[in-house]
Amino acid sequence: MKKYIKFLLMTALLAFSIGCKKDLNLTNKSAYTYDTYFNSDVAINQAVVATYAALLHTGFWSGDYYTTFDLLGYDAKNNQPLLGDYLQVAQYNFGPDLDVMNNTWSVFYQLIARANVVIDRAQVWKPANAAETTDQAQYVAEAKFLRAYAYFNLVNCFGRVPLRTKYLPLPTPADINMPRSSVADVWAFIEQDLKDAEAGLPMSYPATSYGRATQGAAVALLGKSYLYEKKWTQAQTELTKLTQQPYTYALAPVYNNLFDDPNQDNPALNPETIFQVMNQQWTDWGIGNQYYMFGGQETWGGKATHTVRAQSYGFNDWNNVYVTTTAVKAFTYPNPQNPSVNYVDPRAAFTFYGDAASGGQTQYCQQCATGPIAYPFATKGYEWLKYEYYNKVATFGGPQSGINGQVIRYADVLLMLAESYIQQGNTGDKPLALINQVRSRPSVNAPLYTSLGSQTDAMRILMRERQLELTGEQVRYFDLIRWGIAKQTINAERQIEDGTQPFQDKNVLFPIPLAEKNANSAIAKDISGDWN
């Protein structure tokens, strides 16, 4: 799908801009409008591809999403090169006028707007045959999945938000000034979209369409939504589906294959990924702007679909952030089979560069012509390995990473399923087996738990397991928020590391962006103070 997106993206984006200029009393019979363009399988598919393209817009997976949520979840800490908005994010010292907040809000609604176009136009389109009728159902289902994913992020970041469910070419003032819906209504909308998507999405795709949402992706996001809503039994039912036929998801035998470009795209080589954001390595300016993520794929990107993640976090490159000591220390804990002895979890070596005592990787450039180079821990400290490819090169020289962004993977599903049991008071064999399944990945092969103990003990084990397995995957902030322990956890960790306690009660939600308040009078009237 990487090349497919490149081929269709510019045409699809052009289609979305049609009809913006006023008529000059002339009728151009070859010109397209919103009503006339989307009248074929090809055109609707272009609109779907353009909807996926929003995943790489400013504020999302081209770079911003990683940095924002790794900092907020305290997986990452700001280094000296990190300035501006993200320095405020790192200190929880931000308000509604911060560009990061506006970009986060805006990109989710960009994704929603494009999905709404697909749903509206696909349902008007008259397929010519049975194959096109099948495509029509798939396109609508893909759009509903992506729309649900956007609202999933919105409700978790901002709480009550406007539910914009239709594309309106000529919106009225009432349409623009839409009030916020309740959190319950937003979740209900997400659930319905994902149920519809589950019914309409295919199980898999040919190689030309890798990266498109599958039925399994809809099941996983619906199960995750139920878990976030504390609907434990529904979460258990939905997530269990993914462990049974006809689904064939499995843990990748080699952990780092999840974050290594050649192995990511093909489900046969990577059976663990359920939904990911597709990237392709930047090679030259003919593809597009190497630095598009700073102006937005929608304006600077061209055909470029790489990410800045490796360059931004890389210890031999921009090095904007590094791994927190808190995250590093989490990988050393009592051995489940001999609690009197500390154990260093093997996943440390797949997550960060460090020293032997911490379990971090101590070499880089293993595949370089020069041969392996000793990692300079004495001068660098703990730095990111996940989503990096210093095993192949000593430095990147600019944003160019083709490593895909993991949105939901099977290990996450297994741990969420285990949590759904534990939250219902079941700490027995089923959640125990699920947690041990993640720990017994061949490249990890960590000692297995023989018992989870009480519900409190089981949740403590589950929380640590999610932290270790998913460090640097933008999950921990949301986990801490939904568990109701974000303030106490972040402040305790920050107090130890830098003597601060920056997390305030209001930080469980983002502030509604000032730009949205200025544009939407209904929201402006609904906010007390400057927050949410």
SS3 74: coil
Least confident span in 80-84, 137-141, 323-327, 449-453: 80-84
Sheet strands (E) in 231-377: 273-277, 321-323, 332-335, 338-344, 352-353, 363-364, 373-374
Q: Is the pLDDT of residue 123 over 60?
A: yes
The per-residue pLDDT of the chain, averaged, comes to 93
Per-residue pLDDT band at 20 (split at 50, 70, 90): very low
Burial 463-479 (b: 16+ CB within 10 A, else e): bebbbbbbbbbbbbbbb
Q: Is the pLDDT of residue 24 over 80?
A: no
d(CA 180, CA 532): 11
d(CA 476, CA 473): 8
- Rounded to 10 degrees, the C-alpha dihedral 278/280/282/285 comes to -90
Q: Is the pLDDT of residue 17 over 70?
A: no
Asked if 362 and 354 count as a contact pair (C-beta separation under 8 A), the reply is yes
Structure tokens at 444: 């990890």
Q: How far is CA 74 from CA 476, 491, 507, in A?
A: 8, 10, 14
Stated length of the chain: 532
> What phi and psi values does residue 195 have, to the nearest 5 degrees?
-65, -45
Q: What does the pLDDT read at residue 5?
A: 44
Rounded to two decimals, the pTM is 0.93
Q: What does the pLDDT read at residue 81?
A: 78
Pick the residue with more confidence: 34 or 470? 470
Burial 414-446 (b: 16+ CB within 10 A, else e): bbbbbbbbbbeebbeebbbebbbbbbebeebeb
Pick the residue with more confidence: 18 or 443? 443
d(CA 276, CA 458): 29
Q: Is the pLDDT of residue 22 over 70?
A: no
Q: Is the pLDDT of residue 227 over 70?
A: yes
d(CA 468, CA 403): 20
Q: What does the pLDDT read at residue 30?
A: 55
Summarised one tens digit per residue, pLDDT across range 229-278 is 999 999 999 999 999 999 999 999 999 989 986 778 888 888 999 999 99
Summarised one tens digit per residue, pLDDT across range 259-269 is 986 778 888 88
pLDDT > 90 in the chain, percent:
85
Q: Is the pLDDT of residue 337 over 60?
A: yes
Least confident span in 44-58, 186-200, 296-310: 296-310
Q: What does the pLDDT read at residue 297?
A: 67
Q: What does the pLDDT read at residue 220?
A: 99
What is the rounded average pLDDT of the residues 481-509?
Answer: 97
d(CA 513, CA 303): 30
What is the rounded average pLDDT of the residues 139-154?
Answer: 99
The CA angle 409-318-311, to the nearest 5 degrees, is 35
- What domains are defined for the chain? 1-19+33-201+484-532 (1.25.40.390), 216-267+404-470 (1.25.40.390)
Q: Is the pLDDT of residue 289 over 50?
A: yes
Which residues lie below 8 Å from residue 80, measured CB to CB, with a gap of 6+?
A: none
Per-residue pLDDT band at 82 (split at 50, 70, 90): confident
- Provide the β-strand partners of residue 154: none
Q: Is the pLDDT of residue 77 over 70?
A: yes
The CA angle 384-386-388, to the nearest 5 degrees, is 80
